[in-house]
Structure 1
Amino acid sequence: MFENRPDRDEVVLVGRSNVGKSTLMRELTGHKVKTGKKPGVTRQPNHFDWASEKFMFTDLPGFGFMSGVSEERREQIKTDVVRYVEENADRILVGVVVVDGKAAVDIIDRHSAEGEVPHDVEMFHFLQELEIPTVVAVNKMDKVDDRDERLNDLCDRLGLYPPWQQWRETVAPISAKRGSVEPLLEALRTHFHDQKRDDLLKFVTS
């Protein structure tokens, strides 16, 4: 399904449906990306690339529950996303797991209770196992009152010791809709620099 990938290094955005990946993609690239009120609008990887630098941002389809989408189809999307990441791991400079700051902890706890590993936690550890530098972009933070507490709880669920402030390369509180993404840009700058890709820093300046 995910064929015809351009031959580039990339930053991938992964996460559940409706957490704001496409809005974030638009914020990162300055390019209008199709977003929708309905979950599951993104069914194929959206690549936005710069040929001269052999680099691109990729918005991967959202996984998890989607109203009006069969369980079989949802599982297929998740399998496709996992396979894409696995097959291209050596070209992925950074994996960005996008979560909804207001809902993420509750969703994680609800699924943990059912004896399964929640998608967000699973994806975070999966990227790390593949040795892909990983940033959790905690989106919609403009809707969160107890900011520090919420971010500490999220760190705890991801197996990172709070306080969250010591994980600035890994945890980036943002509000994509409001254009407030500097913590993520900062984390990306750090990871690009660590991988000796300072030529890409111009794509993540605010």
Structure 2
Amino acid sequence: MFESRPDRDAEVVLLGRSNVGKSTLMRELTGHTFSTGGKPGVTRAPNHYDWAPESFVLTDLPGFGFMEGVPEERREQIKTDIVHYLEEYADDILVGVLVVDGKSVVDIIDRHSARDELPHDVELFHFLEELGIPAVVAVNKMDKVDDRDERLNALCERLGLLPPWQQWQDTIAPITAKRGSIDPLTEAVRTHLHDAKRDDLFKFF
């Protein structure tokens, strides 16, 4: 289990496959540099960015899924740890931000579905819902996507949301973290913080 979490009663978590840009997004949100690597699986334990006065913590959970050079057993353990973390702190987590790679996410989901597996991204999206945690899908690296609307609509379909994607702007947020283009995400997160009566946290988003 991940034992390093500060004792805070409000949290926003970032989760997603390895190498989708979670740490870059974390840096963009906090102005603080975390170790990012071209090699998947650099983040093996949660990175917590802590604002004690507001009793608020932003957490970047380790990447899951295939990682070159990481044994399957270890990959499964990371996924199990993430699930336990979400279950344990569900009451304090105000938003779960599922970060995906806009260019490859639909293909990855389809590839797993073809093997009769439930793709991790879809599974975690619904798991957040089950736990009562509002989910925002940060569709990253959109600067590399040509067929933007088509791609976002296809992702919605895979997640069980009726297209067009534009009607889900509190759930689907197309961003390019590397370029600092994250407004759709911060707006979506603020919607959920407002619903949780935590407008005081807007300054972090």
TM-score by length of 2: 0.99
Residue in structure 1 matched with residue 2 of structure 2 by the alignment: 2
Rounded to whole Å, the distance in 2 between the matches of 1:161 and 1:34 is 37
Instruction: Report deviation, 1:4.
Output: 3.0
Residue in structure 1 matched with residue 126 of structure 2 by the alignment: 125
Residue in structure 2 matched with residue 171 of structure 1 by the alignment: 172
Q: Secondary structure at the match of 1:137?
A: strand
Rounded to whole Å, the distance in 2 between the matches of 1:172 and 1:5 is 27
Rounded to whole Å, the distance in 2 between the matches of 1:43 and 1:17 is 10
State the identity %: 78
Residue in structure 1 matched with residue 201 of structure 2 by the alignment: 200
What is the number of equivalent residue pairs in this alignment? 204
Q: CA RMSD in A?
A: 0.6
Rounded to whole Å, the distance in 2 between the matches of 1:162 and 1:4 is 39
Rounded to whole Å, the distance in 2 between the matches of 1:37 and 1:176 is 15
Query: Gapped runs of 5+ residues in structure 2?
Result: none
1:30-41 superposed matches below 5 A: 30-41=31-42
Q: CA offsets, 1:57-115, max 9 Å, x none? A: 10000000000000001000000011101110001000000000000000000000000
Rounded to whole Å, the distance in 2 between the matches of 1:133 and 1:46 is 21
The AA in structure 2 aligned to 1:136 is V
Instruction: Report deviation, 1:7.
Output: 1.1
Query: Gapped runs of 5+ residues in structure 1?
Result: none
Runs ≥4 in structure 1, deviation > 6 angstroms? none
Q: Secondary structure at the match of 1:52?
A: helix
Q: CA offsets, 1:126-162, max 9 Å, x none? A: 0000010100000000000000000000000000000
Residue in structure 2 matched with residue 22 of structure 1 by the alignment: 23
The AA in structure 2 aligned to 1:120 is D
Residue in structure 2 matched with residue 92 of structure 1 by the alignment: 93
Please say if 1:152 is aligned against 2:153.
yes
Q: Secondary structure at the match of 1:34?
A: coil
Q: Secondary structure at the match of 1:57?
A: strand
Instruction: Report deviation, 1:174.
Output: 0.2
Q: CA offsets, 1:2-32, max 9 Å, x none? A: 0131111110001000000000000011111
